Amino acid sequence: MPVTALIVWLLVAAMPMAVLAGSARMELSMAPDLVAEADYWPGAADMPAILILHGFLQTREFPTVRRLAESLADEGFSVLTPSLTLGLNRRRQSLACEAIHTHSLQQDVAELTAWTMWLAKRAGKPPVVIGHNTAGVLLAAMLDAHQARIEQALLVSMTAFGQVAPADRIEILRKRAVESVTDAIDEIQIYSLGYCRDYATTATAFLSYLEWDRDRLGQALTAASVPVTVIFGGKDERADRAWLDSLAVGGVEIRAVAGADHFFDLAHEFDLLDEVIKVIRETDHG
């Protein structure tokens, strides 16, 4: 099904489920026999609505995402935290690297776009979108596609696909995948992606993520028509300071949280919350 048609269908397919700890369980039908779930905290009508997306292979229960969502909801914001299906019906658990992965970046972005449009319709205004880790790449790809209106984007501990593994290994795998696609051999093979050294997927799906390297990511973020802020921990060893400086030159706001690591653990969760709220409140939301 074309992405645009899929999104239109999704927007009329939302259903509320049981209420859990102040949030409502929502679901969207993504395709026949494929339902995605999200938690939603309704907030004050005069405050921005916020969507928070988890990182690679994780769910909305990932601690960094869950703590931030609950804290923002306590502040009065409407907050939505979807879990991407990654091809699995009502997925509620993170996926192992060694699992068979048939999902692609385009499918992930289509689901993210559908949830963003759902939240905009529910709140009556474009939402703020926040992504942790590689979710920042999906948010950038959504911005680049211009299929959903958003108010601003906050990228926390942003990491590009292919950034963690050695560059020479990634190039070898890229070449092999391109050759497989050229030869019309799109069977499951072992690649490396994100933090997964052994990642089982097809060449086409692998390349869909790998093409969003730091160069393409930087182009999308600096060309964005909405305010973009990158927040990273001062002790995050995955943060490429030179690359972040290049984003700042291109108009992306860069903010460091002293002492925090990649995951903004319990010692720094409130520092992250304070920084996120500061960024949102400093932006004119009409």
218 domain residue, yes or no: yes
pLDDT value for 185: 86
User: Tell me, what's the pLDDT at 14?
Assistant: 52
Domain holding 124, by residue range, is: 44-54+94-160+212-281
pLDDT in tens, 1-17: 444 444 434 443 454 44
Which of 107, 100, 163, 152 is CA-nearest to residue 130? 152
**115 within some domain:** yes
Contact (CB, 8 A) for 231 and 151: no
Pairing of strands 15-20, 23-31: antiparallel
Evaluate whether residue 19 is within a structural domain: no
Q: Is the pTM of this model over 0.85?
A: yes
Count structural domains, the chain: 1
Where the chain has pLDDT below 70, the residues are: 1-21, 164-165, 285-286
Task: Please indicate, yes or no, if residue 86 is contained in any of the structural domains.
Answer: no
**Helix, strand, coil tally for the chain in percent (to 5):** 35, 25, 40
**Token pair for residue 86?**
């990654």
Q: What is the pLDDT of residue 17?
A: 45
- C-alpha gyration radius of the chain: 18
Query: What are the structure tokens assigned to 60, written together?
Result: 């909305």
In a domain, 66, yes or no: no
What phi-psi label fits residue 73: left (phi over 0), alpha (psi between -120 and 50 degrees) or beta? Answer: alpha
Q: What is the pLDDT of residue 11?
A: 43
Q: Quick one: pLDDT at residue 166? A: 77
Is 252 within a domain? yes
- 265 inside domain: yes
Coil vs helix vs strand at 57: coil
Taking the CA atoms of residue 131, residue 205, residue 207 and residue 191 in that order, the dihedral angle to the nearest 10 degrees is 100
CATH label of the domain that carries residue 147: 3.40.50.1820
242 found inside a domain: yes
